[in-house]
């Protein structure tokens, strides 16, 4: 017989306005089965669950961890029950509330279509606005479009081990979001010497100056904790879209806004004047090894 202390924590995963991308991302976690075996899945739209949607909308059960995916729309209903009633019921009884993805954290893509209605659980972009203001001290925002599965695994592991999760002003775990996506990028030498990539998918060049990469301004550990332990957007030659930030999505994701050929937005932590000075100096250098194809340079040397 198991003691009360050995009882599994109950997870209830609920969806608002969503493309289900966070669920599908989480299902790609390499150690998903081992992780989920340590919890009871009270409800999930796809995974095998203890209760059905009909049962959870009766608002009679409680959970330990309430995970919400998608933007919050107060007019949405599930089985004729307002989503606001469902979210409030489970959130007020849960020990931990996790906003899975940028829509649940800040409104994300869906706030663009209805900014006065769709929001995150406690933010609309970076403004406090959502339905769970009374419980915001228990909310952990895991922004990303979609969420990195290892980030959710980290948070659930910390909860299992009764470890404190420190968060920033936007309620994102500092351990995961103190880095910039720029940190660990394999293109950083190109960035330093201002060598541009002319096309997507190339191994050479920086994507910041022409292709719209937001990595130097985006708080994320994508290049520290690789997707499937293998890769990231910038490693395959695609710009970072800044999907973990409250202002995501921006317009013209594949182009860099510039003033006199200098990026309008400069990297976090550096003044525009200092950046302009550094850029001007770096542009005067020509480094043969960085200007051509890596394979060609190796072949010739």
For residue 63, give both structure tokens. Answer: 């959970």
Question: Would strands 258-259 and 262-263 be described as parallel, antiparallel, or unpaired?
Answer: antiparallel
Q: Give residue-wise pLDDT tens across range 157-196.
A: 999 999 999 999 999 999 999 999 999 999 999 999 889 8
Q: Give residue-wise pLDDT tens across range 212-244.
A: 999 999 999 999 999 989 999 999 999 999 999
* Helix, strand, coil share of the chain (percent; to 5): 30, 15, 50
Q: What is the pTM of this model?
A: 0.91
Domains of the chain (ranges plus CATH)?
Answer: 8-176 (3.40.50.700), 179-292 (4.10.480.10)
pLDDT of residue 173: 98
Alpha-carbon distance values, 176 to 53, 163, 172 (Å): 32, 15, 8
Question: Would strands 81-82 and 77-78 be described as parallel, antiparallel, or unpaired?
Answer: antiparallel
Q: What is the C-alpha to C-alpha distance for residues 265 and 268, in angstroms, rounded to an integer?
A: 9
């Amino acid at each position: 017989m198991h003691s009360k202390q050995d009882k599994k924590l109950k997870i209830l995963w609920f969806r608002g306005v969503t493309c289900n991308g966070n669920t599908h991302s989480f299902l790609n976690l390499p150690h998903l089965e081992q992780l989920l075996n340590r919890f009871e899945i009270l409800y999930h739209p796809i995974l095998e669950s203890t209760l059905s949607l009909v049962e959870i909308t009766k608002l009679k059960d409680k959970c330990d961890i309430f995970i919400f995916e998608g933007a919050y729309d107060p007019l949405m209903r599930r089985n004729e029950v307002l989503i606001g009633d469902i979210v409030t019921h489970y959130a007020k009884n849960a020990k931990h509330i996790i906003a899975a993805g940028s829509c649940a954290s800040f409104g994300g893509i869906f706030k663009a279509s209805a900014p006065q209605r769709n929001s995150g659980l406690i933010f609309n972009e970076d403004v406090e606005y959502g339905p769970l203001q009374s419980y915001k001290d228990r909310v952990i925002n895991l922004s990303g479009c979609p969420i990195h599965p290892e980030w959710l695994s980290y948070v659930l592991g910390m909860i299992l081990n009764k470890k404190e999760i420190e968060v920033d002003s936007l309620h994102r775990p500092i351990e995961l979001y103190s880095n910039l996506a720029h940190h660990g990028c394999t293109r950083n030498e190109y960035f330093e010497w201002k060598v541009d990539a002319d096309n997507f998918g190339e191994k050479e060049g920086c994507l910041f100056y022409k292709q719209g990469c937001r990595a130097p301004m985006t708080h994320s550990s994508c290049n520290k904790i690789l997707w499937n332990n293998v890769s990231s957007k910038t490693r395959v030659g695609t710009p970072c879209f800044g999907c973990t930030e409250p202002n995501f999505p921006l317009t013209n994701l594949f182009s860099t806004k510039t003033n006199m050929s200098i990026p309008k937005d400069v990297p976090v932590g550096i003044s525009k004047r200092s950046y302009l000075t550094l850029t001007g100096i770096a542009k005067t250098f020509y480094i043969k090894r960085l200007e051509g194809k890596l394979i060609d340079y190796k072949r010739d040397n």
